[in-house]
Amino acid sequence: MTLTRLPDDRPDRARFASCFPGRYHGCPMPQTLRRLCLALLVMFLFAGSQPVRAADDPPTFPLSDVKPGLKGVAYTIFEGDKVEKIDLEVIGVLHNAVGPKLDVILVRLLGDKVQQTGVVAGMSGSPVFFDGRLAGALALKLGTFTREAIGGVTPIADMLEIEQAPAATSASVMSSPRVAVPEEFAARTAAGAGQFLVPIETPLVTSGLFPETLARFGKDFASWGMTAMAGGSAAPSPDDAKLQPGDMVGIDLIEGDLSISSGCTVTTVVGNQILACGHPLFGFGSVQMPLSRAHVIMTLASAASSTKIISTGGTIGTLTQDRQTAVMGTLGAGPRMIPLDVTLDTPAEQKKYHFQVIESAQLTPTLVATAAYNGIVGSPAYGEGSTLQMDGTIELKGHTSVRLEDLFAPTDQTTPAAFYVATEVMSDFARIYSNPYELPQIERIDLHVKALAERRWATIDNAWVERSEVLPGQSVAVKVLLRPYRGAPFIQEIPVTIPAQTTRGTLQLVVSGADFLNRNVQSLAVTSQGQLPGLEELIQLTNRERHNDRLYATLLQSTPTMLVEDKEMPNVPLSAINVLDQRQNPGNARLLLQSTVGEWSVEMHQVIAGQRMLTITVK
């Protein structure tokens, strides 16, 4: 409903009152007209108690006119979709509180509800009005366990500056504001020494998230300034995009069989643009995240930290800016998201899950790991004693697919094998998605995980060679004693042929699993970041990495190796090293102290752990 005005555009109530008999006189008119005028007055008074609607471009209240003792109102939702009014009083203005020329209006919230709940998580962005004009958004609160509902308001002028923010492709993470309460206000706010105004928590609402998943990734969510809690999802409605100030909006991170969304209160809606939060969500600058309509199921009062429990509906737009003083979005179509499909095969059944994840260099790797882990542990047939065989791909537009292949066995430790699968996917995805060469367009991620009934892992107990002195070109059998989990030890043989060009002398033979080699013998895909011709070469190196289910024998000699882009050049002559040392900028070339003479492996169909060092003399 828009404000109803008289023809001369003066909304003062005295002009309406002059038309009524009794207390006011001088306006004789028929009874029907008097009833119409009365109806207009009722409509006007009702409209005056509501926030300005989306169709209005609301007048603003200048910060220079904000004085201690000034009365005002804020609008927010405590339950359902009903926007309620909260009375408030200005305590003072904190100048340069958040940063240079970034002030905060310190206010005291009044009323029975806020005395019970205090400042509520999810309330950030609630519009604040003085004399019917928009002054800013509630964004900060005074610590925890405070006796009064004290909040900080971001001035509307600072929020509106987000419209001039550059549309950068990336941004550094901003720190969330933490404002010390000056001594002159400490007594008036019932705050002790050292109290701070901190951003109001943003609820992180999850639907379909297993407690085990939240336990594993909850710390990551907390580091984003989010309070994770169970929520829900609502059926999309044609009216979802009809927002008004005080409504709640969701910012979706994952959609599908698992949903993760954060929630803020809308400060103002002008045309198809909204401002919300009054503080940064993550502080990433220019972003592309889906906006959805959020509904408040209830407000949970707590002495420590009250919060809104919300559900989210259909996509209604795109969050485009995430800045220091507000977030801004555009109503309409949502942004592109990355499809993620997880298939879990167990001896009893097959489960398929579909997710969509936002594109964000900072968040997407963790979100991908969260969705993958949740998909694996979601099957009732999955058990912690299973070995997991991973087979998947990351599809990129215009590039070779990244292969995700490995075997993960549970141990007697508390970390489940599913967590190692998820973090392996996260590591490979982050390496590709955060590469320094180009912005990749991830078309989809397909992950197929097969649960094998038994624990398939073995430890290297001993290793030896049939003879320790060999000639170049000669073959030697490397024998490895392996001890499987709760099984009988057995011997595995690896045939090794000494390359004909091997330098004579003493060499080191490393018998190990893939994990030891990836951690201790130079990994090209990791160390070559930023020194390759492009993304395609990084993908090729990633696809060449070793697998957990193979037993490796690696022959090393103490001669230098030169890494040039994606190529490994062992046994570099001294003359080449001297040339490299004399160049001020060696470019993409790097030097290692050891050279790999050869590497051999056999597939074991179980995870291999441990290592043994042997010595071989080449005559």
Q: CB 496: neighbour CB atoms within 10 A?
A: 22
Question: Quick one: pLDDT at residue 26?
Answer: 39
Q: How far is it, in rounded angstroms, from Cα 389 to Cα 451?
A: 6
For every residue of 128-159, DSSP letters joined together read EEETTEEEEEEEEEE-SS-SS-EEEEEEHHHH
Q: How far is it, in rounded angstroms, from Cα 235 to Cα 245?
A: 22
Question: Quick one: pLDDT at residue 145?
Answer: 58
Backbone angles phi, psi at 303, to 5 degrees: -65, -30
Backbone angles phi, psi at 323, to 5 degrees: -120, 180
Q: How far is it, in rounded angstroms, from Cα 376 to Cα 374?
A: 6
Q: Are 243 and 274 in contact (CB under 8 A)?
A: yes
In this prediction, the residues of the chain whose per-residue pLDDT falls under 70 are 1-57, 143-147, 165-178, 180-194, 225-230, 303-304, 380-381, 383-384, 521-530, 559-594
Nearest to 93 by CA among 79, 103, 82: 103
Give me Rg for the CA atoms of the chain. Answer: 32
Which amino acid, residue 301? Answer: A
Long-range contacts (CB closer than 8 Å, 24 or more residues apart) made by 182-191 = 182/94, 184/92, 185/91, 185/92, 185/94, 185/106, 188/91, 188/92, 189/91, 189/106, 189/108, 189/142, 189/146, 189/148, 189/150, 190/146, 190/147, 190/148, 190/150, 191/142, 191/143, 191/146, 191/150
Q: Dig out the tokens for 365 from the structure.
A: 């790797």
Average pLDDT, the chain: 81
Question: Quick one: pLDDT at residue 254?
Answer: 94
Q: Where are the domains of the chain?
A: 13-48, 55-203+265-319, 338-452, 458-618
**Predicted model pTM:** 0.78
Number of H helices, E strands in the chain: 12, 34
Helices (H), 434-584: 514-520, 524-527, 535-543, 574-582
Q: DSSP class of residue 236?
A: -
Which amino acid, residue 192? Answer: G
Nearest to 298 by CA among 230, 350, 352: 230
Pick the CATH number of 55-203+265-319 from 3.40.50.1860, 1.10.10.10, 3.40.309.10, 2.40.10.10: 2.40.10.10
Q: Are 312 and 263 in contact (CB under 8 A)?
A: yes
Question: Quick one: pLDDT at residue 185?
Answer: 62
CA dihedral for 568, 569, 570, 572, sign (positive or negative): negative
Q: Dig out the tokens for 178 from the structure.
A: 């933490």
Contacts of residue 39, Cβ cutoff 8 Å, sequence gap at least 6: none
Q: How far is it, in rounded angstroms, from Cα 618 to Cα 616?
A: 6
Q: Are 297 and 342 in contact (CB under 8 A)?
A: no
Q: How far is it, in rounded angstroms, from Cα 222 to Cα 176?
A: 13
Q: How far is it, in rounded angstroms, from Cα 388 to Cα 344?
A: 9
Q: Dig out the tokens for 539 from the structure.
A: 């993908």
